[in-house]
Amino acid sequence: MRGWVVAVTALSVFAVPTLVRAQATVDTGSATIFFISAGSLPAGLSLSASTGAITGTTNVAGSFTFTIAISKGCVVVTRQYTMDIPPPIPANFTANATSATSVGLSWSSSASNATYEILKSVNHVDYTLLTETASTSVADNGLTTNTTYLYKIRAKAGGLLSPFSAIEPATTILFTNDPLLAGTPIASTHFTELRTAVNAMRAAAALNPQSYTDPTLTPGTLIQAIHLTQLRTALDE
């Protein structure tokens, strides 16, 4: 056996048309055989004995060390690899107020061996750890009413971390007549609660409270288009 060349492709997370390809330059004659001589591949992946390609799909994240051996007749050459597979970002992450002082959070499983870090903030600057859990849901209790909380999540497995998810806001206000059904009369309290929720979102984005036309709405106040457009403008800023 004169020599061999091993080319390692970029390792993809959970999408493995070819994770590692080993190609040997050898004398003609005996068949070339590839095999794992030490360690093991993540569950769901396999090594082709004839081509040296590792293919398959795994839902296990972490750092995996293994040795690929190439056998040609009576000659065996080996090389060690470490495959790092960080867990994906948890999908379907949601945060919803379940009461005026509680928020429920849920998400989909990222990897079969993952735990999850959930961080929260009230200003989009200072994030603190809410909890680390192996579950796919958690409750955040004892919160301040009429406040927007910002949450983000990442997965951990085998010492590796996923990127953080997108920010998910939740505002601790429960609306009157929620959900609004067809035929429900519009009440001043509906607009007052919306204004409170909008200003809570603005506070979480470090924006000043929105000033509204007719700041105090009472029963009998005529509804105007500007009452609605100001809410939209305040959220779009």
- Write down the pLDDT at residue 199: 95
Residue 4 has pLDDT above 80, yes or no: no
Query: Nearest to residue 230, comparing CAs of 206, 217, 181?
Result: 217
Q: 164 and 193 share a domain?
A: no
Q: 3-class secondary structure for 80-147? A: EEEEEECCCCCCCCEEEEEECCEEEEECCCCCCCCEEEEEEECCCCCCEEEEEECCCEEEECCCCCCC
Query: Nearest to residue 171, comparing CAs of 138, 191, 156, 193?
Result: 193
Residue range 34-47, pLDDT digits in tens: 899 999 988 888 88
Q: What is the spatial distance between Cα 13 and Cα 163, in angstroms, rounded to a whole number?
A: 12
Q: 77 and 115 share a domain?
A: no
Q: Write phi, then psi, for 50 (nearest 5 degrees).
A: -95, -30
For residue 29, the domain's CATH number is 2.60.40.10
DSSP 50: T
Residue range 149-198, pLDDT digits in tens: 999 999 999 889 999 999 999 999 999 988 888 888 888 889 999 999 99
Q: Is the pTM of this model over 0.85?
A: no
More confident residue, 82 or 145: 145
Count of domains observed in the chain: 3
Specify if 176 maps to a domain.
no
Q: Which residues pair with 139 in a beta bridge?
A: 104
Q: 45 and 112 share a domain?
A: no
Q: 3-class secondary structure for 15-38? A: CCCCCEEEECCCCCCCCEEEEEEE
Q: 101 and 64 share a domain?
A: no
- For the record, the structure tokens of 40 come out as 């093991």
Which range of residues forms the domain containing residue 24? 5-85
Describe the chain by its helix, strand, coil percentages, rounded to 5: 10, 35, 50
- Write down the pLDDT at residue 26: 41
**Cβ atoms < 10 Å from Cβ of 56:** 14
Q: 68 and 11 share a domain?
A: yes
- Write down the pLDDT at residue 61: 86
Specify if 22 maps to a domain.
yes
Q: Of 171, 204, 223, which residue is a domain's last?
A: 171
